[in-house]
Structure 1
Amino acid sequence: MFDLKAIRENPDAFDAGLARRGLEAEAGSLLALDEKRRALQTEAQTAQARRNEASKQIGLAKREGREDEARALMAEVGDLKARLAVLEEEEQDLASALDAMLLAIPNLPYDDVPAGEDENGNVECRTVGTPPQLDFAPKEHFELGEALGLMDFERAVKLSGSRFVVLKGALARLERALGQFMLDVHTTDFGYEETVTPTLVRSDALLGTGQLPKFADDQFRTTTDHWLIPTAEVTLTNLHAGEILDEAELPKRSTALTQCFRAEAGAAGRDTRGMIRQHQFAKVELVSVVAPEDSDAEHQRMTEAAETVLKRLDLPYRVMELCDGDMGFSARRTFDIEVWLPGQGRYREISSCSVCGDFQARRMKLRCRAKGEKKTRFPHTLNGSGVAVGRALIAVMENYQRADGGIDVPVALRPYMAGLTHISGNGGGEN
């Protein structure tokens, strides 16, 4: 959502931001609707003032015996009442049309975000770690998991269809260990508050973070008009929707390990094998609500938190700044963290950390106020994966695979695995 006053003051800058997203100009259409709406509001205010004045004149005319004038005034008041009802309905229709247009427009990138049409325009910020030099042909995670008898896609299809998986034994425990490990890193080292939230939400929550109305086809909806969350960004960011926060309490940092659900409507034919792109997956999410002047520093801090997970797992990765043509709907700047997968021989996204400015705060009517101030302002919101648990499992399996098909357990995870040092066939292993 955007500030219409800012668009009125600089429509060219607004349209230039949209152009960087590959979108047509919208300022003219928005301002035309806004001008009509404000004209109706002005007319309604004038009509209401005349109605109030005429109502007072009725009493005076009756007291002075001017019955004809009183009747004329009463007729005028009746006409004004009817006109006000029409004006109110027309104004509400224009306001709804204006809101619908604003809600469908993505956030504008910061001026210094790299320019580009798609992922080919993304810029590498840094590479950390060296891909392992294996003396055998590396396998992909699904080859390893199926051979170990611990990853079952066929039975998942029987239960739920494609893009689901059943994990068993040590791999199931390894996934659980990863989630617990990530929560411990973020709560202990970075001060995020561990939070348990619902996975079913109302439409307003998805509207607030930007998944609705544009991306309804990417979500799962229940028969009770609830939605399954695509990420805990939805619930963590909306915790304070409609509130006025004391700026002394900022930043607010929350983290949650949840199941996430995505329809993957636009992913036909992509990553059909394995766990890369699933309808249901676990993810540790990071969300921050900060004062506007602190958002850039918080973005760097959040990215560092996600990187720390990979560093402690000793997984090679790189950080990419997304170009304006590849960023998500609500983002003003995004850093993607891509982990190395030996089985695929390339880097794949495992975390995305975005600063959204006041875009989401405006949509969810979240404000903040400094001590002693009367005026409020919109805080900035940030979100990031800290990280995707399923993809971390894939990365561990592929980077720690052995020539015999087993998988070594990273040292950082062994306390969560009852000391298990490696995973072998049928869930076995060694301590």
Structure 2
Amino acid sequence: MADTQLDVKAIIQDFPILEQQVNGKRLAYLDSTATSQKPKQVIEALDDYYERYNSNVHRGVHTLGSLATDGYEGARETVRQFIHAQYFEEVVFTRGTTASINLVAHSYGDAHIKEGDEIVVTEMEHHANLVPWQQLAKRKGATLKFIPMTTDGELTIEAVKETITDKTKIVAVAHVSNVLGTINDVKAIAEIAHEHGAIISVDGAQSAPHMKVDVQDLDVDFYSFSGHKMLGPTGIGVLYGKRQHLQNMEPIEFGGDMIDFVGLHESTWTDLPTKFEAGTPLIAQAIGLKAAVEYIEAIGFDAIHAHEQALTQYAYEQMSQIEGIDIYGPAVDKRAGVITFNMDGVHPHDVATALDTEGVAVRAGHHCAQPLMKWLNVSSTARASFYIYNTKEDVDQLVEGLKRTKEFFSYEF
């Protein structure tokens, strides 16, 4: 079982929140796709900043300001190495994946998209990787196109080639679907996009916490992800952009720190990446993200992947034995650690509420993916997701909870 790959018991000890009981039951937290829990190493890094060297960055020359600047910019270098970016200035800190994607859509998109151009996305996208492109297309009179999916919710290379044309200027796709768990071959998609002169922007919110990301090997133009889904604090995200793109892009937020010279009627901008980080930056959050990255790297993605795959396989097998459970998405070996499902005749919110009485935390709703819900021909679903602190016992608790839920709603076994 996955516990042979990771010392899960030791990992769990690093997460104080998991020690509690919910409704008198041990907590089985299966909602890491929405937000992950935080290890004490991240919490302590935040406490250390606030207790020992809380200060603004860049402008101050006093000791606390220098320590804060070193912490903030040290976090940027840690992230650069984590995603294998070539240049320090290719890492921009934002409020999260959504803010990163919006920055690209407004700054790069508004400058490069014109009437008649094509923007290519998929129906599996989170709203954060659909609505900004939808609105860009409306502003510019561009065409929004969708790569068709297989019945299992996958993208074939043939479908990608048929959808992307010489009119395509931007391809926006999730590395991993937050609903289906589908892992998209963004390296191959990037190659096809570039053959047609388009750029590719990747939503990495569900991939960066779970798999090695090498932005140079993938050859993506932009890559966005959030700290809170990868053991870090809320309110911090990353936009990776190729340096040549970022250098030619205009900022979309203006104010302190991002300027070079300000006159009464004209202003100029400072160098990358600061020109995209107006105002007091996300200092504590960046320092916390650094601690999260170091925690993940100490475990290693090979172990993380093996653990999640084993748990997902076990959960898939156990849940498939419950009559009336419909599971969506591709085969387990083609998906990340996510199982999205419905129980016949029971609304997903009722399923989630019933599971909560058993101490099991899952997500229910449309998961910010309403077009995908329509594609699945459902209004909403329930979703269980797995991470490094989950165990076979969590899965057993989920399965027993589902059986009790089914029994409560008068189903026969």
The TM-score, its normalising length taken from structure 1, stands at: 0.22
Q: RCO (CA 8 Å, sep 6+): is it higher in 1 or 2?
A: 2
The TM-score, its normalising length taken from structure 2, stands at: 0.23
